[in-house]
Structure 1
Amino acid sequence: MSDAIEDIEIRLLLEALHQRYHYDFRSYARASIKRRLRQAREELGFANFSSMQERLLYDASLLPRLLRYLTVQVSEMFRDPSYFRAIREKVVPHLRTYPSLKLWIAGCSAGEELYSFVILFREEGLEERTLFYATDINPDALDRAESGIYSLDRIKSFTENHRMSGGKSSLSDYYSSAYGNAIFDKSLRKRVVFSDHSLVTDAVFGEMNLISCRNVLIYFDRDLQDRALGLFRDSLARQGFLGLGAKESLRFSCHAEGFGEFVREEKLYQRREP
């Protein structure tokens, strides 16, 4: 198959996905989306993207299987510990001045970053005044996040990350072990709202004091990055904070003037008023 024909097939498949199910990957970085779709085509057993498109249009059961390839589900608790240490030491003192708080983890995947924030806020005495919003476009990922169950073989790295982030307790205080899994305590979810939300098509998500969206924008093209950053700015309360991934930046965005650098090396920004 020629690259030109494959590109046409991919374009039509993404259009079908948008029209039929309202998941919009049309503006994702093309090299990344092509790589993931090729993997899906091979592992799901389709001869070409046209046959995948036909099946997708008439069989909704294919959708969650395809979304597993198109959405990134790789994370850790307290991933990049210095990021969480900066939030603990630099951002939390500002947040303490508010009687109530809202925190949005955009693209929460299977929930590792969500539980990191809830534990950090519990350790800092802010959990009871905070509502945590965990959103993703993948319903399977949201289900896994809500279950709070992770393989025990991942706990060693989670525990070390927590320690390096300045943790004030033992991570083992927050989970129990059973059948090779770590099951995080349901009390960590009592102030969490899980919701389907797309940065591509959905609107402002309320007045947030802190938004953390890491390693999502790198998969968007420039226009879609600008849309998401504008959404974040409009969703932040006055002087609210935004955290991005290590390889992400506001530098070339049309919304760059809407933010000031707060902790440059950790990609933490603060909303700047006009």
Structure 2
Amino acid sequence: MEYKIQDEEIDSLLQHLLEKYGYDFTSYSRASLKRRVNRLYALDKFNTFGAFHDHVLEDAGYFRRFVEEITVNVTEMFRDPSFYKTVREVVLPILATHPFIRIWHAGCSTGEEVYSMAIMLQEANLLHKSLLYATDLNPGVLDKLRKGIFPLRFMKQYSENYIQSGGKQDFSKYYTAKYDWAKFDERLSARMVVAPHNLVSDHSFNEFHLILCRNVLIYFDRPLQDRALTLFDESLDMLGFLALGGKENIKYSSIFRKYRQLENRERIWRKIS
């Protein structure tokens, strides 16, 4: 019979990870976290929880694997095309009035959404005066983002998403296909600043005109969601925009009264006070 890790064992592991590596998973949604820890434990065929616990703590390479498995890295280009259509038609014309544009993709995963934004900025003739800050706590996904190489089999879907988001070009002009891979134009990545950042423990590091953190907060408990939203508020310019995922909301947070949601019901808010 398959062993299921107990809550107190997970508590102990998370506390030791915080003490040794400074990674704080203690406020992540417990059901999701427990499911992922159990999956990794079974996948790598540990006989006892003690052996698993010690391996995560003592082997830096395995700890990296642990982080990659525990953090959620599901993403795609122009994901939710209606969201990107709103950014393209409503948000970018306002950002265009700034002499320089700073955008933060928090919890950016492997970077498909960062490249999507860079493409839209290029088409609006704004990329040359923009910087896209791409951060995640998982160093492995940031390596993939820097390379800008994604599986070719996804390009058909990404192209459809792009067109639905209001894209007018031939999507394939943005990448070079080689074997089973698509390498994106380095003029896009040249405007990206890629760095590790932990929403749980790190602080604000700049003032932005647009912050995107899509489908990350759903994995946090309520106090940690509020902490992250407060961090975004501290990092956002007056009249700047905050964009979240389809199931995420600021309604019950401490920053709610300072923001007004865009009228078309996409999860984009503007800071008004």
Q: Same fold (TM over 0.5)?
A: yes
**SS at 2:265 equivalent:** helix
Q: Contact between 2:57 and 2:63, CA under 8 Å: does it hold in 1?
A: no
Question: Which stretch shows the higher mean deviation, 203-212 or 44-53?
Answer: 44-53
Aligned equivalents of 1:188, 1:93: Cα separation in 2: 20
Aligned equivalents of 1:213, 1:56: Cα separation in 2: 28
Q: Contact between 1:16 and 1:53, CA under 8 Å: does it hold in 2?
A: no
Q: Which residue of 2 aligns with 1:129?
A: 129
TM-score relative to the length of structure 2: 0.96
C-alpha displacement at 1:186, in angstroms? 1.2
Q: Contact between 2:260 and 2:269, CA under 8 Å: does it hold in 1?
A: yes
Pairs within 5 Å for 1:66-85: 66-85=66-85
Matched, 1:92 2:121: no
C-alpha displacement at 1:139, in angstroms? 0.5
Q: Contact between 1:86 and 1:263, CA under 8 Å: does it hold in 2?
A: no
Equivalent pairs counted in the alignment come to 272
TM-score relative to the length of structure 1: 0.96
Question: Which stretch shows the higher mean deviation, 41-50 or 178-187?
Answer: 41-50
Aligned equivalents of 1:270, 1:174: Cα separation in 2: 30
Pairs within 5 Å for 1:144-163: 144-163=144-163
Deviation track 1:202-254 (CA, whole Å, cap 9, x = no partner) reads: 00121000001000000000000000000000000111000000000111112
Aligned equivalents of 2:63, 2:15: Cα separation in 1: 14
Pairs within 5 Å for 1:163-178: 163-178=163-178
Q: Which residue of 2 aligns with 1:241?
A: 241
Deviation track 1:27-58 (CA, whole Å, cap 9, x = no partner) reads: 00000100010111111222343322211222
Aligned equivalents of 1:200, 1:264: Cα separation in 2: 31
**SS at 2:262 equivalent:** strand
Aligned equivalents of 2:94, 2:131: Cα separation in 1: 17
Q: Which residue of 2 aligns with 1:118?
A: 118
Q: Which residue of 2 aligns with 1:181?
A: 181
Pairs within 5 Å for 1:173-212: 173-212=173-212
**SS at 1:265 equivalent:** coil
Aligned equivalents of 1:263, 1:64: Cα separation in 2: 42
Q: Which residue of 1 aligns with 2:53?
A: 53
Q: Which segments of 5 or more consecutive residues in structure 1 lack a partner in the other structure?
A: none
Matched, 1:143 2:147: no
**SS at 1:266 equivalent:** coil
Aligned equivalents of 2:119, 2:48: Cα separation in 1: 45
Supply the AA of the counterpart residue of 1:62: Y
Q: Percent identity?
A: 44
Q: Contact between 1:123 and 1:168, CA under 8 Å: does it hold in 2?
A: no
C-alpha displacement at 1:264, in angstroms? 5.0
